Amino acid sequence: MPELPEVEVTRRSFAQRIRGARVSGIRLGAPLRWPLGIDPQQLVGGVVGDVLRRGKYLWLPLARPEAEEGGLLLHLGMSGSLGFDEALPPAGKHDHFELHTSKGTLRLTDPRRFGAVLWSSAPDAGLAGRLLAGLGREPFDPSLDAATLHSALRRRRTSIKAALLAGDIVVGAGNIYACEALFQAGIDPRLRCDRLSRPRAERLLAALRVVLARAMEVGGSTLRDFRNAHGAAGEFQAEASVYGRSGQPCPRCDAPLRRIVQGQRATYFCSSCQKR
C-alpha cells in the first residue's frame, strides 16, 4: 500500500506542473470506493491550486468560475498510482479516473479499485472531512514532540507496532516504516505502549522522522507496482535494515532477523537489538 512517503513523493512529482491548469474534462472508469459526488461537467473550467497532502490523502483544490470552490480528495488505495503528462497512452482497464487539463492529464491507475477520488467543498467538509478527522499528527509537525507522543502512547495497551500503524496518534508509519523506525530506535515491536518510557518515545520519534525523510529522499518504496507521477519507482526497499530480511543477519549484531505476524501484518525485527 502506498504510505506517506509514496504519497508525498507522488505529490511532489506533479504538484508544480499542474498548478494553475484549467480543467477541460473528466473521464470516469469503473467505480472506485466512493462516487465522485458531483457532476463531472461542473468541474470543467476549474483552475487547479496548490496540491496538498494530509496523511495518505491528496487535496487538489479547484477554483471554479461562478461556482462554489472546493476540491478533489484523492487516495491511492492498496495499489494505486497517479500519472501526469501532456500525452499519456490510451486509458487501460485499470485507469479509473482522468482529469484533463490545459497542462496535461492526471490519471489514477488502481488495479484493485480501493482508491478514491471525491469532491468536497473543503477538506474539513462532508465525506472528506470525516475521512480526515481521525488522522493523527503529521510526523514532521513541530507541535509533535516526545512528550506529546509519549503521553498519547501511554494511554494505549496495544503493542507499539499496532499503535503506529493505527495512524490516529501519528500518521505515516506504514508497515515498512514502522518496522524500520522501531529497529532504529531499538524497540521491540511487541512492547506494550503503556510501558514505553519517555526517553524511548523520544528515540522513536527521531527514528521515525529519519526513516520517513530518507524514504522520501529516495522516492519511497516499490515492492510491487508503486510509481510516482513520472513513472519512476522508489528505492527505499533496497536500503531497509530489517523489512523483508527474515533469517538474514542483523546489520548491527549479526543475529538472524525474525518475522512475526501482528494484526495480520508481517513484522520484521531483531530480537537481540530491539528490547521490550
End of a domain among 81, 107, 133?
A: 133
Kindly report, residue by residue over 114-126, the tens digit of the pLDDT: 999 999 999 999 9
Kindly report, residue by residue over 156-202, the tens digit of the pLDDT: 999 999 999 999 999 988 899 999 999 999 999 999 999 999 999 99
Distance CA 250, CA 269 (A): 9
**What pLDDT is recorded for position 66?**
78
The answer to the question of residue 141 being in a domain is no
End of a domain among 105, 133, 161?
A: 133
- The contacts of residue 253 (CB under 8 Å, 6+ apart) are 270, 272, 273
- Percentage of the chain exceeding pLDDT 70: 95
The answer to the question of residue 140 being in a domain is no
For cell 504519497, the residue is: 7
The catalytically annotated residue of 54, 156, 252, 265 is: 265
Q: Are residues 153 and 225 in the same domain?
A: yes
Q: Are residues 98 and 209 in the same domain?
A: no
The answer to whether 3 is a known catalytic residue is yes
- The contacts of residue 133 (CB under 8 Å, 6+ apart) are 124
Give the residue with greater pLDDT, 1 vs 241. 241
Domain, as residue range, for 124:
4-133
**What pLDDT is recorded for position 165?**
95
The catalytically annotated residue of 11, 53, 56, 245 is: 56
Number of neighbours of residue 133 by Cβ within 10 angstroms: 8
The answer to the question of residue 80 being in a domain is yes
The answer to whether 2 is a known catalytic residue is yes
Which of the 8 DSSP states describes residue 255?
A: P
Give the residue-averaged pLDDT of 137-150: 96
How many separate domains does the chain show? 2
Distance CA 182, CA 160 (A): 9
The answer to the question of residue 16 being in a domain is yes
The answer to the question of residue 214 being in a domain is yes
**pTM of this prediction?**
0.92
Distance CA 139, CA 143 (A): 10
Q: Are residues 157 and 257 in the same domain?
A: yes
Least confident of 51-60, 77-86, 94-103: 77-86
Give the CATH number of the domain where residue 190 resides: 1.10.8.50
